[in-house]
Amino acid sequence: EADIYQTPRYLVIGTGKKITLECSQTMGHDKMYWYQQDPGMELHLIHYSYGVNSTEKGDLSSESTVSRIRTEHFPLTLESARPSHTSQYLCASSEPTGRAQDEQYFGPGTRLTVT
């Protein structure tokens, strides 16, 4: 099983609150990713990082922001949560092989509900 962790696993929060979803990996992977997944739907890439101080937006527009100050840590922040942000957020990392077909390892996910 991959050594990638996400906290919290479940979060219920009111509209307008600021939240940070944590993601950490102990595998020394350079590349890290955040995906958003709604029930019965495909995963959508919202942010990725090639390494420290590198962050890029993914295919799905998101009001969240990310940072990568340390290799092992890739937190996602929502400054003002809204009900439309209710979803499952999955963090992943991949090995620094330099190949396009890097294997991605996923964390257990954070189920976010904004009331």
Residues that bind other proteins (CB under 8 A): 1, 4, 6, 9, 31, 40-45, 48, 90-92, 94, 98-109, 111
**Of residues 64 and 93, the one with the C-beta less far from other proteins:** 93
**Of residues 9 and 82, the one with the C-beta less far from other proteins:** 9
Residue count of the chain, please give it. Answer: 115
**Of residues 60 and 79, the one with the C-beta less far from other proteins:** 60
Find the shortest distance in angstroms from Cβ 31 to other proteins: 8
Pairwise CA distance, residues 29 & 104, whole Å = 10
Find the shortest distance in angstroms from Cβ 80 to other proteins: 26
Q: Which residues does residue 70 pair with via DSSP β-bridges, in sequence order? A: 73
Find the shortest distance in angstroms from Cβ 87 to other proteins: 13
**Of residues 47 and 85, the one with the C-beta less far from other proteins:** 47
- How far, in Å, are 16, 34, 40 from residue 59 at the CA level? 25, 11, 19
User: Strand, helix or coil at 85?
Assistant: helix
Pairwise CA distance, residues 14 & 35, whole Å = 22
Find the shortest distance in angstroms from Cβ 106 to other proteins: 3
